[in-house]
Amino acid sequence: MGYADAVATYLAFAVDKGSNYWSSLCAWHSGRDIIMSTFARQALPMVWDFTEANPFSSSSGNILLGISQASQMLDKVPASLQALTRQLNATETINNVNHPLICTDPPYYDNIGYADLSDFFYVWLRRSIGKIYPDLFSTMLVPKAEELVATPYRFGGNKKDARRFFEEGLRRTFIRMKKTAHPEYPLAVYYAFKQSESDSNIKDGNGNSAVASTGWETMLEGLLASGFQITGTWPMRTELITSLKKSVSALASSIILACRPLPEDAPMTTRRDFINTMKRELPPALKTLQQENIAPVDLAQSAIGPGMAVFSKYSKVLEADGTPMRVRAALALINQVLDEYLAEQEGEYDADTRWALAWFEQFGMMEGPYGVAEILSTAKNTAVGGLVAAGIIISRAGKVRILRRDELPEDWNPATDKRLTVWEVTQHLIRVLVDKGSEEVAADLLRKAGALGDVARDLAYRLYTICDRKKWAQEALAYNSLVVAWPELVKLAGQKEVKGPSQQQLFEG
């Protein structure tokens, strides 16, 4: 009987998989000539010209594919250990285990309507395996009232009430976790959420509006208010980047926070001391993240971890007026230290690259007045003529602009370039990798660029940050893609070197 139930359950997964391709919300992917699934993204958008799949065909949406995927999963994840799963409301009960080890991946406001979206599958599962799991399928639709989500329509359209419900619920959940969690093991929180907004009340060191993230702020406020401190953070690749998600704003990583109870005698500190400690402790952590090729799109949220580890080791950080610093202000300061860290890397660049960076920040790839270019070149200790000779800019009729990547010479060779700059290395790598799509050629350029390669990657982080702030999405994507491809390029560049004749071969030859 148990065996038959197990088989029925896995067959129900195959029907699930099928129904993802059998709805009137499946669009046609004209580029790849395939049917797209209903949940190509986590939403149910209207599709006017939907595609009908044939479950008995051999193409996408065929029932056998669902069955083979379910069985492949079984092969890969053998059920050799016993496990018990229960559906419980985390706000009210964790479970009935004494001092559990807790790993959690909390929801983020109304980012994804899990319960609403789950109804799509629930109605079919209830019909097929509802009798096997009567407790799980006791309701007509997925339970909604307990769900921690900030959906205004559940509160008569009131956005404030929806937010309050979510924020208070999350806080209650963390307090409950703090009370029950095993004291010897850290609480692990998985978090991946990129939501930037400007808060005009918070200023960075230059008096500009600072950027804070409400999702992070709420989660961290909840964690710290319940008496946890953050003792470690790791970015982990968790997100499958599908073609629809390939926008620059899609994060590739989750940040895993290890949290432990804050000791009762944790010290207080001042804003000034907090900033000084962060300036000491954050840069080495950021260097490690860069060396591990964290995608630029993930760098800002990855910096929150080590920054918050500093903030949360104090019982309070006191502002100049004696009030405790809010998480929001701490997040703005972390961003500021990150900015300074990236700006300090300018010391590694040649004068021409420093000029190009400052110009790019002001004009992007657009034209600007010659006079401005000349003043900037004096400040950066270079000359407009030299920048033209270096192959970075074009200057004519009183106007100057940076050369677009499609204008750069295809036969460029860093080994023979007479005025080699970091700017060119970064741009040419993107030209061949992203614009031309050749990893092999890019790896060859990287090998020839030698020691400038790593500096070119650092420049890509800085350029990504500028583009992200300015909302130049397309250009930002190029720099992100270069860093994401970096490990592969380094590997290919290394292989090339090995393929060349070794000293021994030359000697023997």
Identity of the residue, 109 or 461, whose beta carbon is nearer to ligand SAM in the bound complex:
109
DSSP, residue by residue, 115-162: HHHHHHHHHHHHHHHTTTSTTTT-SSS---TT-----GGGGTT-HHHH
- Which residue lies nearer to ligand SAM by CB, 147 or 339? 147
For the bound state, the minimum distance from the C-beta of residue 21 to ligand SAM, rounded and expressed in Å, comes to: 20
Asked whether the CA dihedral 114, 119, 120, 126 is positive or negative, the reply is positive
Of 87 and 200, CB closest to ligand SAM: 87
Long-range contacts of 11-16 (CB under 8 A, 24+ apart): 11/67, 11/70, 11/128, 12/124, 12/125, 12/128, 12/129, 13/66, 13/70, 14/63, 14/66, 14/67, 14/69, 14/70, 15/63, 15/66, 15/124, 15/128, 16/66, 16/121, 16/124, 16/125
Q: What is the nearest approach in angstroms of ligand SAM to the Cβ of residue 182?
A: 19
| Residue number with CB closer to ligand SAM (147 or 167) | 147
Query: Measured from the CB of residue 148, what is the shortest distance to ligand SAM in angstroms?
Result: 4
Considering the complex, what minimum distance in angstroms separates the CB of residue 173 from ligand SAM? Answer: 7
Residue 246 beta carbon to ligand SAM: minimum distance, rounded to whole angstroms:
20
State the minimum distance, in angstroms, from the CB of residue 303 to ligand SAM: 21
Nearer to ligand SAM, 95 or 413 (CB): 95
Cβ closer to ligand SAM: 204 or 239?
239
What is the H or E stretch that residue 276 is in?
helix 271-291
Q: How far is CA 260 from CA 63, 176, 199, 235, in A?
A: 47, 14, 30, 18
Beta carbon nearer to ligand SAM, 116 or 444: 116
The binding site for ligand SAM (CB under 6 A) comprises 89-91, 105, 107, 114, 146-148
366-369: list long-range contacts, CB under 8 Å, 24+ apart.
366/401, 367/399, 367/400, 367/401, 368/399, 368/400, 368/401, 369/398, 369/399, 369/400
Q: How far is the CB of 341 from ligand SAM (least distance, A)?
A: 30
Query: Strands, E, within 323-381: which ranges?
Result: 368-369
Neighbours of 440 (CB within 10 A): 13
Pairing of strands 197-203, 209-212: antiparallel
State the nearest-atom distance from the C-beta of 141 to ligand SAM, in Å.
Answer: 14
Nearer to ligand SAM, 150 or 432 (CB): 150
